[in-house]
Each structure stands twice: as structure tokens, then as C-alpha cells.
Amino acid sequence: MKRAAPFSGFEFLVAWRYLRAKRAEGGVSVMTIISLIGIALAVAALIIVLAVRSGFRTEFVDAILGANAHITVYERKLDPQTGSLDHVIKDYAALVDDIVGVEGVTSAAPLIRGQVMGSANNFNHGIMVFGITLDKLKAIPNVVRSKRSQGDIDNFPNGVAIGSGVAKALRISIGDRIKLISPNGIRTAFGTSPRVKSYAVAYIFTVGHYNIDQTRLYLPFEEAQSFFNREGGADQIEIFVDDPEAIDEIKSALQVAAGDKAVLETWRDYAGGFLRALAIEDNVMLVIMIVLILLSTMNIISGLIMLVKNKGRDIGILRTVGLTEGSVLRVFFLCGAGIGLVGTLFGVLFGVLFVLNIDSIFSLVNYLSGGDVWDPSIRGIYHLPSELRGVDVAKAMGISVFLSFVITIFPARRAARMNPVEALRNE
């Protein structure tokens, strides 16, 4: 007698008949549906989590890199007169020329930085001031291509550019004046008196990161030098590179160009804590979702065990007419694998549709809750981000299918090792 080839059409036919059989016929259709739903929901949840995770990192990194330098250069040297550390860069023009010559650097610019109190309309607000030139301000992507900008950035030399959060806190708009108050102002014989000066608002930007929009103000470079007593000097050099993700590869070359007294800080240094926390959270959530899929696939074991028990007589007859243990194993393996595969496909479909419409779904949840579910002051960004990547979908499918196939082997082996004589005797 010629044996059928593994996974032949006959084995698929028997597996299909068992899966669609009703409980009265010895099938487990209800358990099959429950298994399908459980796996589909677990796979969809994994895809949604992975998409939100990717979206969070992309949104956060884009907001940071789009409004901040990729590398910042400071100087630490002793003041010969006072003996204290002096951070002011006097020869910033020559330093910028040396840095721009490093391969991979797209631009470098001197910067004045200081904290002040902003005041307008009887409102006060803490502000971080950045003194910068117009051409370098235009080189900052998220500022010049602001999502919700007001005014003309070309008028920056005649005023200041402020974040939308600052404008909201002080109730000001384009053309209004903002008063800046610095405690480190004019030096007199009686000490240092606060410096107070007002400027017209020329441009309002929204970079997409709450903390930046809420605190940042750009001031023309020369005006910032005068306001913060930095005549002829700069506080730091801001550097932009071609590939921010490969920042470590050119850091050593930049250190040589900047000199021994220079201190380099990359965007990963000041954002590293959040990125590490996000990575840890990602790994934990991935493990939780895998466990959820594993629990869902356990329904396959329950269903197949019931199916094997109900089909004991059929197994005995199949073995009697010549089916091998391997053939019986493959029949029940196809039953479980089919459930896992179909459930996975439904889960992928549901998960992808959910991610593609996540903004609408989240808006509905926000409306039904009757409040602001998403607080940007806590999250740092203004909406729930998501980024659907093919590798994440493939990862979710691979995990689900692998677990489904592995789980199916155990009850399928039990069916294959069933003694046909005992099976028929019990019936």
C-alpha cells in the first residue's frame, strides 16, 4: 500500500472537517471560535503596542532633533583674574570654522543661553532664552517649518521668536511686546542690578514638544550678547550633523577640532534618560504581549484535547485502515495550526486598521470621557503617536504563528500515539 505524502490533500480535508464539525457531531466549533478571537485580540494588541512604541520614539526624537543641536560644545577654563571657571567662548568664530571643517557636520553656530522671567499683560512666565542669528534660526527644522506658526520669521532681527506655550501663558500675539527680566544685569559700584528690556514678538512657533514650546524664546545674537553681558563671546557652539543616529562616529573628530578645553554633549546625553526608560518599557510591554499571546494559544490545546477525545473512534478507524502515527499527528497539527494562522491574520487586520485610525479612535475616547485624556504637560507631546512598521507587523505574526505551531504539537502527538484498539474498545 502506497503511503500518502506528508501534508497531503487528504490530511488537509480531514483537518478541515474536524474544525467545522458541530459539537453534536463530536467537533469543538465553539472552542475554535474562542481560540480564534483570543489569538486575534492578542496579536492586534501586540501590533498596536509596537506601533505606539515606535511612534513615541520617532515623535520624541524628531521633536528633540528638530529644535535642538545634535552636539553642543562648551568650554571650561580658569579666569586668570578671579580664578573661577569661565564658560564664555571668546574666539567662537575661529572655533566654528574648525568645527565646520569636520566631515559630517552640516552647520555650526555660536549661541547665547540664559534664563529670564518673561512678563506681559500682568502675567509672568519662566523663559529660556537662546541668542542666535537669523540664518542659524532658519536652519532649525521644526522652528522654520513650524506646525502652527504665526508671523514672519524674516522679521526676527527686529524682535523675538517665542514658543506657542509662552505666547499662551503671557496672553500675547504677533506685534505685542514681551518684557524680559534678568537678575544678572548691569554691573554698578553697588553691585549688579536686574536688567529689564522689552521686545516685539515677531514670530510664534510650535515645534511639537510641550517643554520646548512652553519655555523657549529666540533673541537676535548681538542683542543677546548685550542683554547677558557676553560682549565678544558666546556661551556654546551648536552643531548639526548629517546623521544624528551615528553621532558617536564623529564625536572624537569634533573633540580634536574643538580642543582639550572643550566639553561635548550630544543629543543622546540629555535625552538618554528618557530613551533608556522608553527602551525598558518597550521590552517589558513586549514580554507582556508575548505572554498574552501564549495564554491565548492555550485555548488551542484545550480545543484539540477535546477534539482528540471526541474523535477517538475516528482516530481508531483511521489507524485501522492504514494511517500512520505521523499522518494522524499532521491532521491534528493542521487543526491547531489553522486556528493559530487564521486568528493571527484576523489579528493583523484588526491591529493595522486600529493603528491607521488611531487618531479618530482616540478622539472618540476623549469625547466619551468628557475631558482631556492626553495631558501634553506630562507626556511632552500633543497627541498619541503611532508608526506602523512592516518589521513590527512581521514580528507580531511570527511570534503568534510560532507559539501556535509549538503549542499544537503536544495534543497532536497525544492523538498520534493513541492505541487504535483501545480507542475502538472505549467507543
Q: pLDDT by residue for the chain (427 residues), tens digit each?
A: 455 566 666 666 776 666 666 554 444 567 777 778 888 888 898 888 888 888 877 777 777 777 778 888 887 766 656 555 667 788 888 888 888 888 888 888 889 988 899 999 889 999 999 999 998 888 888 888 776 788 888 899 999 999 888 999 999 999 999 999 887 766 655 556 678 899 999 999 888 777 888 889 999 999 998 888 888 888 888 888 888 888 888 888 888 888 777 888 888 887 777 777 777 877 888 888 888 888 877 777 777 777 666 666 666 666 666 666 667 777 777 877 888 888 899 999 999 999 888 878 877 777 776 666 565 655 556 667 778 888 888 988 888 888 888 888 877 777 666 655 555 555 5
Q: Is residue 268 assigned to a domain? A: no
- Show Cβ contacts of residue 72 under 8 Å, excluding neighbours closer than 6 positions: 236, 237, 238, 239, 264, 265
- DSSP assignment of 134-189, as one string? HHHHHTSHHHHT-TT-EE-GGGGGGSEEEEHHHHHHHT--TT-EEEEEEEEEEEET
What pLDDT does 186 receive?
Answer: 65
Residues 218 and 142 placed together within one structural domain of the fold: yes
Cβ atoms 224, 131 nearer than 8 A: yes
Q: Is residue 70 assigned to a domain? A: no
Residues 230 and 286 placed together within one structural domain of the fold: no
Residues 156 and 211 placed together within one structural domain of the fold: yes
What does the alpha-carbon distance between residue 156 and residue 161 come to, in Å, rounded to a whole number? 6
What pLDDT does 107 receive?
Answer: 85
Full domain range(s) for residue 205? 77-260
Q: Is residue 69 assigned to a domain? A: no
SS3 content of the chain, % helix, strand, coil (to 5): 60, 20, 20
What pLDDT does 192 receive?
Answer: 64
CB half-sphere exposure, 277, CA atoms < 13 A: 6
Residues 220 and 305 placed together within one structural domain of the fold: no
Residues 96 and 234 placed together within one structural domain of the fold: yes
Number of domains composing the chain: 2
Question: Amino acid identity, residue 325?
Answer: E
Residues 92 and 44 placed together within one structural domain of the fold: no
What pLDDT does 160 receive?
Answer: 93
Judge if pTM exceeds 0.85: no
Residues 171 and 313 placed together within one structural domain of the fold: no
